[in-house]
Amino acid sequence: MQCVRRQPVRTKSQESVYRAQIKTVARNNMKLIGLEGDKDLQFLINGGDLLKVRSGSWKKSRYYKLQEDCKTMWHESKKTLKSKNTFSVDDIEAVRTGRQTEGLRKHTEESVDGRAFSILFKGRQKNLDLIASSEEEAKKWVNGLEKVISNMNNLTPQKKTEHWIYSCIRKSDKNLDNKMSLKELKSFLQDINIEVDEDYAEMLFEKCDQSKGGFLEGKEIEHFYKILTQREEIDVIYREYAKTDGVMSAADFLNFLLNEQREHASLNDALQLIEKNELDENARAKQQMTKDGFLMYLHQPEGLIFNPAHNSVYQDMKQPLNHYFISSSHNTYLLEDQLKGPSSTEAYIKVLLKGCRCVELDCWDGSDGEPVIYHGYTLTSKILFKDVIKAIKEYAFKVSEYPVILSLENHCSVEQQKTMAQLLISILGSALVTKPLGDQMPTRFPSPEELKGRFIVKGKRLNKLEDAFSDESKTADEDSVTEEEDDEGDEEDREKKSSKLKFAKELSDIVIYCKSVPFHGFEDSRDKQSFYEMASFKEGKAVKLAEESANDFILHNTDKLSRIYPAGLRTDSSNYNPVPLWNAGCQIVALNFQTPCPEMNLNQGLFLQNGQSGYILKPSYLRDQDTEFDPITVSKGPWLKKKSLHVMVISAQQLPKVSQKKSSIVDPIVQVQIYGVPADTTVVETQYIENNGFNPMWNENFQFDVCVPDLALVRFLVEDYDTSTDNEFIGQYTLPFNSLKNGYHHVPLLNMNGDLLSSAGLFVHIMVVDAE
């Protein structure tokens, strides 16, 4: 959420006053974000010229500066019709030094490496490639931006709110007199997403205008801020438990933890939380918690709806690889659609930094003997295979230390396949799995723990893995051997006319645990398929099997891997619902990570747990080779753990506008959705609240009966209600049912890209009990 000042025309005297005020505002904001007096931040606020690089021929000098809110970057633009020449620090995903992006490597000389840096944005916004006038200035830009991003991210929710509201108050002060008139107060309320009637606005104004001067200033604006940010729902809860002279003692707080939060807490736990969250030194010394300290606690990980114990790896990581759901990407190289969108190494970096553990590489013959990656028979751009492998190596294990599967869709000639093998071996080195881990022929997959920091190649193999352990093994010459193609890849229909593919031994030999084979039915797989041989299923076939032969599919996946991929008709890079495939035990359910959508929200929600490692241990009944579990019928068995989920949607805080029009105020409505086995899948919704996105309150209760909680996901969706058209998306949060915490909790909200909406959230009460 941001409030950006447009630059008005001012007289010289007005400009002088304005400049002085800007310095004061900037100083206040620097103090708010904990960077008062920081030289790098001051450098950003002063601004300077940078060379913007778009192509070999488009390199132009532009002036950039951080605005006084310490959150918005403004840049000069020569486009007369361009209305927006700012971007928020919140939109930045990373700042990279040197010529690390494709654009800078392609369009600049190596000599500028020390002066070059790039700003990478969340979502589909293009990188900003820049060159400073000196290495020293480049360091100041990078250091300053990184400090602002880090400090903004680490602000407490209260400080974020204070910073944002302060910026919006500045914006509403049209005449720059540090005072707020009634008209400016109404304008400010619209900015922060509240529409009030005239009578209420006047009543609020009069209540704060204690000097009766016809405007608010100083302490009166502070009083207005306190009224605005008062949380009535928190006051009610606090009063209920603050039994010691109107304040919470450690014993009072412990009662809250035991009775409301249903935690296994001790008095010592309560004291530690008071020590951590209480801001008032006197209260802390008396081992008491004030209302502000209580609110601080509710915004900490302990007070959020997601179980903080699941923020780190807590599952057994020593099971065979096929016993895990694995976060997987389809056509990973694409940033947009499947027909003409750009291919980029950045796409691989983005998904790896989101914890993805299986990436896809569509490999084709390139010029000069260099294999390339792109979407064959389309206008998508091409990138070098070696550049992709280098990017994967650098970013594979920054978020998760567990293995990465390289899923090769191979359309290359034998010669370029040999080049691929050579590049994989030379670039990835000892991290590449080129032979089974033990000295003997394995009978099952190694575990994620055993494969930490390793790469596994998925692709065709000329012979059986067993042949590598046989003295009599025969290795065929690649020029005379062909192998039948399986269903793999979106090119299935086009490939049928040339369904024979010559295959290079060098590439074949590094396919160890993930040999691609066609699927000819579950019985054929049981009789003929080795554990390391895996089939890929187009979504339509996979969904049909999951609906009509769910138990057979589950049994198949107890000792083999299955990969599912989107249908070729999804040229817009849309996605299918992954939940029915997870219910059938499928491990590699590949989605188009580049597309913001509910399906990707579900993927992010499932893999939120277990330290976001990209590996989730399947429930025991999806790993048992004698299992009778069927998600469609859900008969009696160990999977049946009936729970009753009670959700009270209490309130929301600081929801963003969905329209940039000042007069547009959201009418928020909340859906609570359960995804899981068909018997558990349901959705309920609140009433909508008219014209209030700042602090709407519902206090509505819902109950859900959940039969198979191990496979259930809970999604909170906030939309802007509309009577005549579809509701508009505001924010969402998805988490596993088993990661829910009981009690009063804040629910952070994410945008459709899966990035945190600063300050925005829901406040709910959760109770999970065993159903009778």
170 is in an annotated binding site: no
Is residue 167 annotated as involved in ligand binding? no
Is 68 part of any known ligand binding site?
A: yes
Q: Which long-range contacts does 347-353 make (Cβ < 8 Å, 24+ apart)? A: 347/593, 347/594, 348/388, 348/391, 348/392, 348/395, 349/391, 349/395, 350/93, 350/593, 350/594, 351/593, 352/392, 352/395, 352/396, 352/398, 352/399, 352/404, 353/395, 353/398, 353/399
Q: Residue 184 contacts by C-beta under 8 Å, 6 or more apart in sequence?
A: 172, 173, 174
Annotated active-site residue in 310, 375, 411, 765: 375
61 is in an annotated binding site: yes
Do the annotations mark residue 721 as ligand-binding? yes
Question: Phi and psi at residue 216, in whole multiples of 5°?
Answer: -105, 140
- DSSP class of residue 303 equals G
Q: How far apart are the first and last CA of the chain?
A: 45
Residue 53 labelled as part of a binding site: yes
Residue 307 annotated as binding site: no
β-pair partners for 564: 537, 589
The reply to whether 746 belongs to the active site is no
458 is in an annotated binding site: yes
Q: Count of CB atoms within 10 A of residue 209's CB?
A: 20
On whether 64 is known to bind a ligand per the annotation, the reply is yes
Residue 74 assigned as binding residue: yes
Is 667 one of the annotated binding-site residues?
yes
570 labeled binding residue: no
465: how many CB neighbours lie within 10 A of its CB? 19
Exposure class string for 365-388: b at 16+ Cβ within 10 A, else e: ebeeeebbbbbbebebbbbbbbbb
Q: Which helix (H) or strand (E) holds 470?
A: none
* The total number of residues written for the chain in this structure: 772
257's enclosing H/E stretch is helix 250-259
Task: Check whether 76 is labelled as a binding-site residue.
Answer: yes
527 annotated among ligand-binding-site residues: no
User: How far apart, in whole angstroms, are the C-alpha atoms of residue 757 and residue 1?
Assistant: 8
Q: Is 181 annotated as a binding residue?
A: no
Report how far residue 615's alpha carbon sits from residue 13's, in angstroms, rounded to the nearest whole number: 63
**CB atoms inside a 10 Å sphere around CB 514:** 24
- 473 marked as part of a ligand binding site: no
Residue 720 labelled as part of a binding site? yes
Q: Is 59 annotated as a binding residue?
A: yes
Is the Cβ–Cβ distance between 614 and 357 less than 8 Å? yes
Annotation-wise, does 617 bind a ligand? no
- Is 73 annotated to bind a ligand? Reply is yes
User: Burial code of 237-271, b = ≥16 C-beta within 10 A, e = fewer?
Assistant: bbeebbeeeebbbbebbbbbbeebbebebeeebbe
φ, ψ at 202 (rounded to 5°): -65, -40
The answer on whether 536 is annotated among ligand-binding residues is yes
Helical H segments across 642-733, by residue range: none
Q: Which helix (H) or strand (E) holds 144?
A: helix 135-154
Name which of 598, 690, 608, 687 is nearest 649 in CA terms. Answer: 687
Is 105 annotated in some ligand binding site?
no
For 631, residues 6+ apart whose C-beta sits below 8 A from its C-beta are 546, 550, 580, 583, 584, 677, 678, 708, 711
610 φ/ψ sector (left φ>0, alpha ψ -120 to 50, else beta): left
Q: Identify any residues that bridge with 617 across adjacent strands, giving them in sequence order.
A: 324
| Tokens found for residue 318 | 């020593």
- Residue 362 counted as an annotated binding residue: yes
611 annotated among ligand-binding-site residues: no
209 annotated to bind ligand = no
Please pick, among 299, 330, 745, 746, the residue that the annotation labels catalytic: 330
Residue 227, Cα to own-chain centre: how many angstroms?
A: 34
Q: How many other β-carbons are positioned within 10 Å of the β-carbon of residue 400?
A: 25
The reply, when asked if residue 639 is annotated as ligand binding, is no
Question: Is-catalytic flag, 375?
Answer: yes
The total of other beta-carbon atoms located within 10 Å of residue 581's CB is 25
Beta bridge partner(s), residue 766: 647, 743
CA distance 262 to 256: 9
**Does the annotation place 122 within a ligand binding site?**
no
Was 79 annotated as part of a binding site?
yes
- Do the annotations mark residue 207 as ligand-binding? no
Distance CA 218, CA 178 (A): 8
Indicate which residues carry an active-site annotation. Answer: 330, 375
Q: Which residues are annotated as a binding site for Ca(2+)?
A: 331, 360, 362, 409, 665, 667, 691, 720-722
Q: Which residues are annotated as a binding site?
A: 52-79, 331, 360, 362, 409, 458, 460, 536, 563, 665, 667, 691, 720-722
Q: Which residues are annotated as a binding site for substrate?
A: 52-79, 458, 460, 536, 563
